[in-house]
Amino acid sequence: MPSTWLVQLDQTLSSYSILTALVVVGVLVALLDRSGVLGWALDLFGRATRWAVRGGFRVWERWLSWANWWVYLLLALALLVVGGVAARPLPAVALVCAALTLTMGVSTCLAYMFIDVERYEVERGRKAVHNPTKGQDLAANVALYGHRVGVPLLIAAAAGVIGGFVLLNQGFYESVGRGWYKVDADSRPGFIDFLTYAVINLLSLVDILNVADSRHLLHATFVKKGDWPAAVMLGAFRSFFTLILLQQVFASVRQGRLLSETIADCWSPHEPIHDRARNALPQFGANAVGPVLLSLLEMTSLTKEQRDQLPIILAAIGPSTIPTLIRHLSDPHEHVRAVAAAALGHLGAREATAEVAALVADASDLVRVSAVDALGLLAAAGVQAERRRAVRRPRRAGPGGGSSSAAGNRSRRTGTRPRRPSRPCARRWATPSRRCADRRQPHSAARVARRPTPRTYSRPCSRTRTRRCAAGRPRRWVRSAARRSNWWPRSTTPRRRCAPPPRAG
């Protein structure tokens, strides 16, 4: 019988061939690295990966950023139920539901990866969640979605991806891909069968089941991949979850190690190391509050500088630390209670006033002093809030129909005195139109109140262009000294004065 293999080697020749092939591949990789082709290929792959992660985040931000993890899970379950019920009679509906579920799951996982990368930049000090310093950028995405994008959302998204993959395989089997899978001739697999197919291939349990079957220990019948489309979909499914798992493992190890090192440096006796750790610690966000307070359990005593600086560091993280600090007010360790109370005072958390006031009767002197200081800061914050609210509150209208608060604000901006109502004057030049005050409407209260005392003349004014005073000299417009001063507004009408007599000779 002729052999069907293209190349057939015996055992010894096969071993040499495999080792030679590995050496050739290594040499080829070295040459590609030397020529720069390998670096270009890796850079292109990195750009494509970052583009995919950023695109997934944009999709999630536009359509799913409003949903918490349990809302997302309910939406995914609803789509899976609808698709599972309609898989046999309407496979197209099952495929649409599977596509929607997969899109939701993949975009949410990519959004988690995008937020996690920005969290790493915050940990390294390149960005800040709250009050960025000089040289730092604001981590806007972490500030907006960091509380929502966490491990529960990642787990819900992973479950949605698995469910969407299962529904996709079932929809293809019921429509065009019946020959893509190996099943028993007398059975028709359903959703549960394809769920088992996805799980055992994802966890690599299929190899264990094959070994058990070859040893006649266990014989289990399940759906297997048959043609290349099923193998391609299964390979992409496993590769995606491997990427997500590796990213999560590396991120957890990296974050835990960096945070523990920063907390250890915070208690260093060397001032440069201590200052660097103190500036870097607020960048970890609210997740750093618990480990920092737990590190106080190992401290037998705190210096005055540590007692003063640590609450300020915790307060610099932002208002997201308030729930964690309130929970630690009942800690059995006195240093933890004192630092938590002082940090709440620096944050101005008025909702924690009752819990902080309860520490005034604490058995520890240190806790009582910290509680009193925190209550003083909370009271000052409350007074400032009331003042701001009183300033923004509209006042009742003044006598002229306008708002007195608006007039006060305008006077503070221009540096002028507040305007008061006054009776209109008689025989006064009101405007540059040179009409007498008794022949026009009464002056506005603001303009009349801010004019200087009018000069009196021996005879009344007339409507002629030329006017003379009692001495017979012609009058002319002269700028008043009050107008040139800062107190006098620019819109004030100049007043008339007599021109000086001509010099003799």
User: Domains in the chain, please, with CATH?
Assistant: 29-251 (no CATH), 267-390 (1.25.10.10)
Query: Is residue 293 within 8 Å of residue 326, measured between CB atoms?
Result: no
pLDDT of residue 462: 46
Spatial separation of the C-alpha atoms in residues 368 and 19, rounded to whole Å = 74
Write out the H or E segment, with its range, that includes residue 225.
strand 224-225
Spatial separation of the C-alpha atoms in residues 117 and 120, rounded to whole Å = 5
pLDDT of residue 209: 75
Beta-strand relationship, 475-477 and 496-498? antiparallel
pLDDT of residue 480: 45
| CA dist list (Å): 203 to 186, 196, 200, 209 | 28, 11, 5, 12
pLDDT of residue 294: 83
Tokens of 258: 């960096």
pLDDT of residue 96: 95
Spatial separation of the C-alpha atoms in residues 436 and 447, rounded to whole Å = 15
Write out the H or E segment, with its range, that includes residue 113.
helix 91-123
| CA dist list (Å): 128 to 23, 136, 138, 142, 263 | 48, 6, 5, 9, 18
Spatial separation of the C-alpha atoms in residues 479 and 397, rounded to whole Å = 35
Per-residue model confidence as pLDDT tens for the chain (505 residues)? 455 666 666 666 777 888 888 899 999 999 988 888 988 998 898 899 889 999 999 999 999 999 999 999 999 999 999 999 999 999 999 999 999 999 999 999 999 989 988 887 877 667 877 777 777 788 889 889 988 898 899 899 999 999 999 999 999 999 998 889 998 877 888 999 999 999 998 888 777 877 777 777 787 888 888 899 999 999 999 999 888 877 777 776 666 677 777 787 777 777 777 777 777 777 677 778 888 888 887 776 767 777 788 888 888 888 888 888 998 898 888 888 888 899 999 888 888 888 889 988 888 888 899 899 988 888 888 888 788 777 765 555 545 444 454 555 554 445 455 555 545 444 444 444 444 444 444 444 444 444 455 554 444 444 444 445 555 555 444 444 444 444 444 444 444 444 555 565 4
pLDDT of residue 429: 44
pTM: 0.58
- What interhelical angle do 191-202 and 205-214 show, nearest 10? 100
Helix (H, G, I), strand (E, B) or coil at 400: coil
